[in-house]
Amino acid sequence: MPDKIILTAALTGAVTPKEINENIPLTPEQIAEDAYNCWKAGAAIVHLHMRDDKGNGSMETARFQKTVELLRAHEDCDVVICCTSSGAMNPKPGERMAHFQTIPAIEMGSYDAGSMNWGCSFVFDNSPDFLVELGKCYQDYDVKPEVEIFDMGMLGNAKHYVKQGVLKAPLYCQLVLGVLGGMEASVENLQHLVRHLPEGSKWSAFGIGKDHMPIMYAALALGANAIRVGLEDNVMYAKGVKASNVMLVERAVRVVKEFGKDIAAPAEAREILGIKPLVR
């Protein structure tokens, strides 16, 4: 489906406080409703993080469970559900995988293919042992990895884990540009990553903050299969104008159509990415 673009909405993230943008959904009820509205606006995939009662990132399985149940309670909604494996500060490896092992409705999961300094804040720890364990978990529970690539080293890791059988080709790579500690958000860096993707890979890209629009345009020009938007990555619609997730999805839909492409429906996204059809 070369003319179909998959649109992912990353709704919440684990870090940005609601004080910066009151539209960030925090509770399972808010996240599920925002996910439903983004699906209605054109998102084929929703990328889900959870927050605790204080608004901090959480890997609590019960929160994922409630959010997924509320979202799937909309019988008309067939959105692809993708959940994070890295949504809290210093969780134990088992806590990062428990929801995939207990919630069959989760179809995709993030796979951050290496460790890095996350800005000047903390070490984003994805050890070799954890990555092997996570890859096995995804294979055991039929979860499609969203292989998140922040720099060339992570892309090299991803290729290694394909050779080792930890990841299965073809990969779906999410190229993340603009996080301090990873690659800067430039067209040159995006081109470099795309040129070195494993053969047959499907790919998406996004830029952080002010870089989200340039990377969106560049990704489409370079033949991306998907793009990602949402308040996890960018909280402003324009200078002085706070965004909502639906606003960002609606704009992305317009950009894709102006580019001469069509938005992939969830069923088409599953076909493109090799995910089984939805069974309720």
Q: What is the pLDDT of residue 200?
A: 95
Got the DSSP string for 142-210? T-EEEEEESSHHHHHHHHHHHHTTSS-SSPEEEEEE--BTB--S-HHHHHHHHHTSPTT-EEEEEE-GG
Rounded average pLDDT per 10-residue block, the chain, 280 residues:
91 94 98 98 98 96 98 97 92 93 97 94 94 98 98 98 97 97 97 97 97 97 98 96 98 97 98 93
**Per 3-state DSSP, what percentage of the chain is helix, strand, and coil (rounded to 5)?**
35, 20, 40
Per DSSP, the three-state class of 62 is helix
Of the candidates 96, 92, 115, 94, the residue with the CA atom closest to the CA atom of residue 106? 96
Q: What is the pLDDT of residue 280?
A: 75
CA 2 from centre of chain: 21
Enumerate domains of the chain plus CATH numbers. 4-273 (3.20.20.70)
Q: What is the pLDDT of residue 1?
A: 66
* Distance, CA of 209 to CA of 250 (rounded, Å): 17
In this prediction the pTM is 0.97
Q: What is the pLDDT of residue 90?
A: 80
Q: What is the pLDDT of residue 45?
A: 98
Bridge pairing between strands 45-48 and 80-83: parallel
- The token duo for 151 is 């720099």
